Structure 1
Amino acid sequence: MTLADRYPLLYAPARWEWGGLDVQFSTDLPPDELVTNIHVISFVGDRIVLCRDARGVWLIPGGTREARESIDACIIRELAEEAGAELQGPAHWIGAHHTTSDRPAPYLPWQPHPHKAWLWCTADVALTGPPTNPEGAEQILEVQAFPPPDALRLAATDGPHMPDLLSLAIELHNPH
């Protein structure tokens, strides 16, 4: 049985209307120059870190890569901004949403257009303080590390594919 068979909602072609994006998940990693967003399925032991925003959505920490920012620097920055977390080891790439935008211009001037990618990774982290919540960024109201069943349920508030994504991350983080 393939990953696509086991995680059908994750692998199904989708439309992210909020961003004007047609998306397709794959474990084929995109070239660095196409990666515009990076999200970290963060583990504290066997628990998964989720962040609640002002809309009441529980999301995976991560976000938009800055101009000329490395993937590693983006991970470190986004973990601090959204989760008040620090890496406790290397990040491991698990896949990406390969996207095509129907917008007339890129979201930010330095981003590729119309094709780009959202990179997903896993990492062990420590929650070291509150999120930094910089001005102009997504404002996080709460950060918690949840047991997997609770994380799967809450992550669905950020999209129907998110429980599949977390399940894949759990499988790859603890292969047995």
Structure 2
Amino acid sequence: MTDTTDRAAELAALAARFPILHAPQRWAWGGIDAQFSAELPPDRLITNIHVVGFTDGRVVLCRDARGHWFLPGGTREAAETVESCLVRELREEAGARLVGPPTWIGAHRAVTDRPEPYRPWQPHPEKAWLWGWAEIAVDSRPTNPDDGEQVVEVRPMSPEEASRLLTRGREPWWGELVALAVESYGSR
């Protein structure tokens, strides 16, 4: 088999193990059709970066003022690198810093039907949300900038509890995303 055939078989096996995560999705809030793949997108398409942050094997989640639990991460600023966006978002939302380099596990490739990009510098209509995991240290309070989520709690928890809180009243693919990150983290 060629390397291309091997990679295609690897991606198909991953999609079979995590079918909900890999299923086509409609994100009505943004007029977005999205689909996850472990095949990483080109840098120019990445508009959002999120990580499953691990501290002592536990997953770090953030809770905003509305009671919504989420993984730290967010929107990339103009001319910002992926890593500098991750560093900034971890500090803003989780009061955390990277302890080691991030491992990228995949991305949601997305197309929006909105007439203009969310931010003027972003690619349009195609874009990508990059997902990964990283070892982090929660060592301060979230900075909570005025234009971001107002985080009221940051909590390390078991992967099972994180999956439960992320999927409660939301898309079930969040649980499979955490499971994929845990699997990748455990195989390091």
1:91 aligns with: 102
Name the CA distance, whole Å, in 2 between partners of 1:81 and 1:141.
Answer: 12
1:169 partnered with 2:171 = no
2:35 to 8, 13, 24: 24
1:121 partnered with 2:100 = no
Q: Identity of paired residues, percent? A: 55
After superposing on structure 2, the runs of 4+ consecutive aligned residues of structure 1 that deviate more than 6 Å are none
1:14 aligns with: 25
User: Secondary structure at 1:135's aligned position in 2?
Assistant: coil
Q: Normalized per residue, which structure has more helix?
A: 2
Deviation at 1:159, TM superposition (A): 2.7
In structure 1, runs of 5+ residues without a counterpart are none
RMSD: 1.2
1:3 partnered with 2:17 = no
Name the CA distance, whole Å, in 2 between partners of 1:72 and 1:151.
Answer: 24
2:82 to 71, 80, 96: 71
2:123 aligns with: 112
Name the CA distance, whole Å, in 2 between partners of 1:154 and 1:46.
Answer: 17
1:147 aligns with: 158
Q: How many equivalent residue pairs?
A: 176
Name the CA distance, whole Å, in 2 between partners of 1:148 and 1:42.
Answer: 11
1:42 partnered with 2:53 = yes
Name the CA distance, whole Å, in 1 between partners of 2:31 and 2:153.
Answer: 28
Paired AA for residue 133 in structure 2: T
In structure 2, runs of 5+ residues without a counterpart are 1-11
Structure number with the bigger relative contact order (C-alpha 8 A, sep ≥ 6) is 1
